[in-house]
Amino acid sequence: MESSTPDHADHHAANNNNKKPRNNPNLITTSDHLRHVESMATMPSGAGNISHLNAVILGESLASEENDLVFPSDHFSRQAHVSSPQQYLEMYKRSIEDPAGFWSDIAATFFWKQKWGQPVYSENLDVRKGDIRIEWFKGGITNICYNCLDTNVEAGLGDKIAFYWEGSELGVDATLTYTQLLKNVCQLANYLKDVGVKKGDAVVVYLPMLMELPITMLACARIGAVHSVVFAGFSAESLAQRIVDCKPKVVITCNAVKRGSKVIHLKDIVDAALIESSQSGVSVDVCLTYENQSAMKRESTKWLEGRDVWWQDVIPKYPTTCAVEWVDAEDPLFLLYTSGSTGKPKGVLHTTGGYMVYAATTFKYAFDYNSSDIYWCTADCGWITGHSYVTYGPLLNGATAVLYEGAPNYPDPGRCWDVVDKYKVTIFYTAPTLVRSLMRDSDEYVTRYSRKSLRVLGSVGEPINPSAWRWFFNVVGDSKCPISDTWWQTETGGFMITPLPGAWPQKPGSATFPFFGVQAVIVDEKGVEIEGECSGYLCVKCSWPGAFRTLYGDHERYETTYFKPFPGYYFSGDGCSRDKDGYHWLTGRVDDVINVSGHRIGTAEVESALVSHPQCAEGAVVGVEHEVKGQGIYAFVTLVEGVPYSEELRKSLVLAVRKQIGAFAAPDRIHWAPGLPKTRSGKIMRRILRKIASRQLDELGDTSTLAEPNVVDQLIALADV
């Protein structure tokens, strides 16, 4: 990265204490909502290699890192969509003061069969004033698949590559142009209509990262069906829960997939889930199965005649054109289940119009996307990142994206950079978990590849610790690529707080400032907004187009979880610090949800899986810092009376969780517990368990309120058993 722009240098020269001079005629006068960014300090410049490269200490304090600023180069800023703090402030100010006008202007760039009515949006985020309600562009008639595909083909992009697909094995790859993708989507859409799928019906999708996954999502959207993609790492029990909740007309899967050298039999998992869901009164008549030949031949696949259908036998026979089902902006687009702090997963429901506008706009600005970019997001479509930033966001911008089926370190830790060089990837978006795991291997796995094409890096899923940020910046990006460290959630639909790579100087580990239209506030325990430099609970006041509208079939839980904790606000469930310059630093979950490698896992889900084991009497699960995964799962287990501790039993308990939820939720540690620290009312004191798990034994605090204070000493004594 080059040194700072002349503007930065002038500010610095004119103002030795690094604050913008108040008499600067170019400084925007801002109203209250901009109070945390208007006086942004312009720190000494000098981007390039950042120090502390070897300080791989996880969980380090943010304060000591705050003063490292990384400025975009002159060249990058000049060409960026948002090229300065001044331009960001102008756009942000309008987005807050005139949200209807700001978002209408953007929405008008999409195709609408019929324009939305007035008002542009209506909302109630205050439970004291009645039901929570969010609506954007209501009355507008559109279709997101049409905007992703047909409009791009009509604009002359038919021969442009929509997807490069990279298989798990080296040398196995494929491409789809926009025209080819549209034809494949239409064929599947026609089949779904033929088997009775209508507007509003649910389709459950349990596929790995084959091109058939985004094809399926788009085909559902084309006919107004609601897709519910389930990550193909979830167990049969978890899949069955989701099937029972949304009662799909069709389940779509493939027979098997390879993860590295291991074959996972997805169809067997689906079969077991369909048996379980039918026992709960929900039967599915059609299981469309793609034959993934590289992992498993069809002869070896278990089959139920009359229900199971091979994709390759039926889909190619259908016409390559399919009429679009025009839908209202507020008609549902997809369901995505996310872990709750109680056992049952929550079906997050996103609607069409606002989500479309928001996903496309956040993609364009946060990655500074240009039509010549080749974009790769390593996320799976089983998560929200794969919805907004693998499928919809890129295609709505006419982008070329890479889909990768395999593991990021297969056959060795250099695979990501091999893929980057092969496709000349310019924008690379991944999770801190992957960054940290690659950090543990030799830098030589990175530096043996050119990576010259890279222009922007991105981070998603959890806060990225400053040492991992620096390694990503210095080693992967050769100190020349800004990092879009994005904070957002399944519920928000798109980025909420993110750097705009050409505008603001960055601080390693900070998500920087709110995106357009997002009023992020930090509140205390009483829900009072805190000013200036502070830490507290991250909330959002006022709606934004990408917000989810409800939890499927449970609006009461939607209100209780997200809007009752702090009336008048959407409560994110995350903690946040704001520094003296207005930069936001996410501090992780404040409730009983653990963020493992970007996967949100409810502690209650893991606890109920443990307790389902016949020899487990009680379990309590907490999150602990993990060098690679961000957070790990630490389980305290009380056994049935008379059952001895053993390594076999420990493995058996882990297996129970793997079977019920999936391998990604398996506890990293099981700590034998003769009893759990409880209040006299029976509430488990997780604060104490977290301290024991983190070995912060001098910070246990007052234990006198416990029903049995000596339990704590027993747990400490068993820490290494």
- Kindly list the domain boundaries of the chain, sorted by start residue: 597-718
Other CB atoms within a 10 A radius of the CB of residue 327 amount to: 23
What's the pLDDT tens digit per position in 85-123?
A: 999 999 999 999 999 999 999 999 999 999 999 999 999
The mean pLDDT of 523-546, rounded to a whole number, is 92
Beta-carbon contacts of residue 280 (< 8 Å; ≥ 6 apart): 240, 244
Strand partners, 141: 114, 328
3-state secondary structure at position 116: coil
Instruction: Supply φ then ψ for residue 254, to 5 degrees.
Output: -130, 165
Which CATH superfamily, name and number, covers 597-718?
A: ANL, C-terminal domain (3.30.300.30)
3-state secondary structure at position 91: helix
Q: How far apart are CA 673 and CA 617, in angstroms?
A: 10
How large is the angle between the packed helices 99-107 and 353-366, nearest 10 degrees? 90
What's the pLDDT tens digit per position in 382-412?
A: 999 999 999 999 999 999 999 999 888 899 9
Given this model, what pLDDT does residue 402 score?
98
Other CB atoms within a 10 A radius of the CB of residue 301 amount to: 20
Give residue 233's pLDDT band: very low, low, confident or very high (50, 70, 90).
confident
Token pair for 565: 């904790």
pLDDT > 80? residue 125:
yes
Q: Is residue 460 a contact partner of residue 409, using CB atoms and an 8 Å limit?
A: no
- pTM for this predicted structure: 0.82
Beta-carbon contacts of residue 125 (< 8 Å; ≥ 6 apart): 132, 134, 541, 542, 543, 563, 568, 569, 570
What's the pLDDT tens digit per position in 1-57?
A: 333 333 333 332 233 333 332 233 333 333 444 444 444 433 222 233 333 332 222
Q: How far apart are CA 570 and CA 599, in angstroms?
A: 21
Chain center to CA of 699: 33
pLDDT > 80? residue 361:
yes
Compute the Cα dihedral for 408, 409, 411, 413 and give only its sign.
positive
Question: Average pLDDT over the chain, rounded to whole?
Answer: 87
Give residue 197's pLDDT band: very low, low, confident or very high (50, 70, 90).
very high
Q: How far apart are CA 54 and CA 351, in angstroms?
A: 45
Name which of 246, 133, 127, 129 is nearest 560 in CA terms.
Answer: 127
Given this model, what pLDDT does residue 21 score?
29
Token pair for 156: 């002359």
What string of H, E and C letters represents the secondary structure of 366-401? HCCCCCCCEEEECCCCCCHHHHHHHHHHHHHCCCEE
Q: Is residue 106 a contact partner of residue 357, using CB atoms and an 8 Å limit?
A: yes
Cis peptide before 21 (omega within 30 of 0): no
Burial of 60 (0-12, 13-18, 19+ CB in 10 A): middle
pLDDT > 80? residue 634:
yes
Name which of 224, 301, 308 is nearest 274 in CA terms.
Answer: 308
Given this model, what pLDDT does residue 61 score?
30
Beta-sheet pairing, 202-206 with 250-254: parallel
Among 443, 591, 592, 668, the one annotated catalytic? 591
Beta-carbon contacts of residue 639 (< 8 Å; ≥ 6 apart): 615, 616, 617, 645, 649, 672
∠ CA 592-508-472, nearest 5°, is 95
Name which of 498, 579, 587 is nearest 546 in CA terms.
Answer: 498
The mean pLDDT of 224-232, rounded to a whole number, is 96
Number of helical (H) and strand (E) elements in the chain, helices listed first:
23, 30
pLDDT > 90? residue 247:
yes
Alpha helices in 36-143 (DSSP H): 74-79, 85-97, 99-107
Which helix (DSSP H) or strand (DSSP E) does residue 277 occupy? helix 266-279
Burial of 386 (0-12, 13-18, 19+ CB in 10 A): buried
Given this model, what pLDDT does residue 648 score?
96
Residues in the chain: 721
Q: Is residue 455 a contact partner of residue 425, using CB atoms and an 8 Å limit?
A: no
Which helix (DSSP H) or strand (DSSP E) does residue 586 occupy? strand 584-589
What's the pLDDT tens digit per position in 690-715?
A: 899 999 888 887 676 576 888 999 99
Other CB atoms within a 10 A radius of the CB of residue 71 amount to: 24
Which helix (DSSP H) or strand (DSSP E) does residue 252 occupy? strand 250-254
Instruction: Supply φ then ψ for residue 373, to 5 degrees.
Output: -70, 150
Alpha helices in 571-709 (DSSP H): 603-611, 647-660, 686-693
Given this model, what pLDDT does residue 513 score?
96
Q: How far apart are CA 265 and CA 255, in angstroms?
A: 6
Q: What is each CA distance from 534 to 43, 89, 438, in whole angstroms? A: 20, 22, 33
The mean pLDDT of 234-251, rounded to a whole number, is 94
3-state secondary structure at position 561: helix
Q: How far apart are CA 68 and CA 668, in angstroms?
A: 34
554 is catalytic: no
Given this model, what pLDDT does residue 124 score?
98
Given this model, what pLDDT does residue 720 score?
80
How large is the angle between the packed helices 603-611 and 647-660, nearest 10 degrees? 120
Which helix (DSSP H) or strand (DSSP E) does residue 227 occupy? strand 226-229
Q: Which residues of 589-610 are buried (b: 16+ CB within 10 A; e: fewer)?
A: bbebbbbbbbbbbbbbbbbbbb
